[in-house]
Chains A and B, each alone.
Chain A
């Protein structure tokens, strides 16, 4: 028996596109709006702003000068900024669970749909 998909109306097609777009923009912008987007560096308080204080050797200072930065204060935010790599094991566990659950769910549903396709294609449906 062959499955006959229903014909989709123009309006319904449009609606599906809108749903998909809403999901897309939601996923990408919600973390940005909520300020949860990570990845930013921070400059420690009272960080030094002289070449010596920032541990820059002569060669490094020369390259900064060549790039057009003769005043160390102008690049001190770039030089002093550091990432914070501390993390909680709980958050890591959540991430692992989410990733594994996602692939497990997807492979399960895929397999179910795939068996359907194969049995229709190779025609051995009982």
Chain B
């Protein structure tokens, strides 16, 4: 039994509601940027190229920009709501205050699923990359990728366990390196520093331009999301940033701008160097397209740089995913949406340590057993369900608390156009997913329906009613 000094200056978050150990408020806007971009940037290094396979190079570009619009809407909506609802759990906490408990439970599960699956995908890619390095350095056996996959997940879980500041500072450094690597590859292949190596016209000649016609463009939207999936994760840091109302909108909007640049450059470099059939096959063809692009330049320093960039991007992403998934799981445990045991904070490291531990074996199970495109699809599906929730959330937020009834850290312009645009783009993406992965989509939704019934009729009895509404807001309009 430990004694706690309430006046201790080393322990903040000592609130009137009895928090004795809470999460630590230590992060700045740069960490928010690193969390958002760090999770997503791996999408440029692997996975987005499935969109090329789905519809060809131009289809991938259209999907890249449509998804860019979708995510700009996501970032604007998120910035407004989260600068007002600043708590761990992000969209889960937003849903709890704005839509209702069952929606919040579902959103919490979307978050945990999307991030844990993405984490598994990252670990798979890291394992592949290390085996590729072994092959290129002359190892003639087949490298066992499993120990490296396990090491990536366990090492990052350990880092997350030990504290959020070190975790996200690490992310800041490796994300910056991975982003700079894309810029370097761009300037050294496109004629800015050296003669241009781009062969867009020849590689996209004839049927290679739009091999499936316009339906291919629709289908490509499925993996178009992969360019940006996870930027909404910045909100999970809400309880750990020093000034959430300022840092979260800043970090999120700077993040989406970074990604729009990175995504477009990546597309331009890769389709100008790699034939689309090879590029579009992320399993047997180009698993790590930027790395392959660097190999095609024949310049050894670029190969090394992009190899390092790919590895760093996967690590940064898995790292951010562990951070976000554990925050969401923790927040649900704290409210008793999940067993309250998960709502514990480590008294020394100030992290949701039990949630971090619990999600490790789950990530391992998928990283070691499931194929990459399936894992990616599960992640995208959960993300998509979440993006469909966001416009509903935003419209209800503005209706229940109109402008000036509460103080918002950031107000996004043109409401409700971003919400409606987001909803329309989600519908298109549902159709795209249906074209290839309809069964998984239905299985996934059946899962959420069963889980919802379980929550409504069983689990919700353990949740205190009024206590879960923690924001100091007036009563919502219409109640």
Residues of A within 8 A of B (CB): 2-6, 8, 10, 13-14, 16-17, 19-21, 23-32, 36-39, 41, 55-60, 63-64, 66-67, 75, 77-79, 81-83, 85, 87, 91-92, 94-95, 98-99, 101-103, 105-107, 109-122
> Using Cβ atoms and an 8 Å threshold, which residues of chain B touch A92?
431, 434
User: Contact: B278 with A114, CB < 8 Å?
Assistant: no
Shortest beta-carbon distance, A15 to chain B, in Å?
Answer: 9
B469 on interface, CB distance cutoff 8 Å: yes
Q: Which of B53, B100, B440, B466 has most A Cβ within 10 Å?
A: B100
Residues of B within 8 A of A101 (CB): 449
Q: Does B69 contact A (CB under 8 A)?
A: no
0/1 per residue, B437-460, Cβ < 8 Å to A?
Answer: 111111111111111101010011
Beyond known contacts A39-B437, A59-B202, A60-B208: 20 more, CB 8 A cutoff: A4-B464, A5-B336, A5-B462, A5-B464, A17-B338, A25-B365, A26-B447, A27-B446, A28-B370, A31-B443, A37-B374, A56-B275, A57-B202, A60-B203, A78-B278, A78-B285, A95-B430, A105-B452, A110-B102, A117-B466
On chain B, the number of residues with a Cβ less than 8 Å from chain A's Cβ atoms is 85
Tell me, yes or no, whether B324 is within 8 Å of chain A by CB.
no
B140 on interface, CB distance cutoff 8 Å: no
B389-410 CB contacts (< 8 Å) to partner A: 392
In the bound complex, residues from chain B placing their C-beta under 8 Å from that of A5 are 336, 461-464
The 8 Å CB contact of B377, one of A16, A27, A36, A39, is A39
Nearest-neighbor residue (CB-CB) of B377 within chain A: A39
Which of A27, A41, A57 gathers the greatest number of chain B CB atoms within 10 Å? A27
Contact yes or no, A20 B338, CB < 8 A: yes
Distance from A31 Cβ to chain B, minimum over Cβ atoms (Å): 5
When C-beta atoms are compared, the residue in chain A nearest to B441 turns out to be A95
Tell me the B201-244 residues at the A interface (CB within 8 Å).
202-203, 205-208, 211-212, 215-216, 219
B378 in contact with A28 (CB, 8 Å): yes
Report Cα–Cα, A29/B444, bound state, in Å.
Answer: 11
Q: Could you list which residues of chain B lie within 8 angstroms of chain A, going by C-beta atoms?
A: 53-54, 99-104, 106, 113, 199, 202-203, 205-208, 211-212, 215-216, 219, 273-275, 277-278, 281, 284-285, 292, 295-296, 298, 336, 338-341, 362, 365-366, 370, 373-374, 377-378, 388, 392, 430-431, 434-452, 454, 456, 459-466, 468-469, 475-476, 479
* B219–A57 CB distance below 8 A: no
Q: Enumerate 5 A-B pairs (CB-CB under 8 Å) in ascending A order.
A: A4-B464, A57-B205, A77-B284, A78-B278, A95-B430
> How many Å from the CB of A46 to the closest CB on chain B?
18
For the complex, give the distance between the alpha carbons of A79 and B275 in Å: 9
Q: Is the CB of B443 within 8 A of A30?
A: yes
The listed residue (B292, B370, B451) touching A67 by CB distance below 8 A is B292
Min CB gap A119→B, angstroms: 7
Q: CB distance A37 to B392 under 8 Å? A: no
Using CB atoms, name the residue of chain A closest to B106. Answer: A106
Query: Nearest B residue to A56 by beta-carbon distance?
Result: B275
Residues of chain A lying within 8 A (CB to CB) of residue B365: 25
CA distance A97 to B48 in the complex (A): 29
A87: chain B residues at CB < 8 Å are 434-435, 438
Q: A82 to chain B: which residues have CB within 8 Å?
A: 211-212
Distance, CA A23 to CA B53, complexed state (A): 32
Least distance between B401 CB and chain A CB atoms (Å): 12
- Which B residues touch A30, using CB under 8 A? 443
- Inter-chain CA distance A117–B473, complex, in Å, is 14
- In the complex, how many angstroms separate the beta carbon of B52 from the nearest chain A beta carbon? 12
> Nearest chain B CB to A22's CB is how many angstroms away?
10
With a CB–CB cut-off of 8 A, which chain A residues contact B469? 117-118, 121
Question: What is the CB-to-nearest-CB distance from A105 to chain B, in angstroms, rounded to a whole number?
Answer: 7
Q: B218: nearest residue on chain A (CB-CB)?
A: A85
Residues of A within 8 A of B374 (CB): 32, 37, 39
| B479 CB contact (under 8 Å) in A31, A38, A85, A118 | A118
B contact residues around A83 at 8 Å (CB): 53-54, 212, 219, 435-436
Do A13 and B278 touch across chains, with their CB atoms under 8 A apart?
Answer: no
Contact of A106 among B102, B434, B440, B460 (CB under 8 A): B102
Chain A contacts for B466, CB-based, 8 A? 2, 117, 120-121
Q: Which of A2, A38, A77, A107 contacts B440 (CB 8 A)?
A: A38
Q: Which one of A23, A63, A110, A114 lies within 8 Å of B296 (CB-CB)? A: A63
User: Contact: B285 with A95, CB < 8 Å?
Assistant: no
B432 to chain A, nearest CB (A): 10
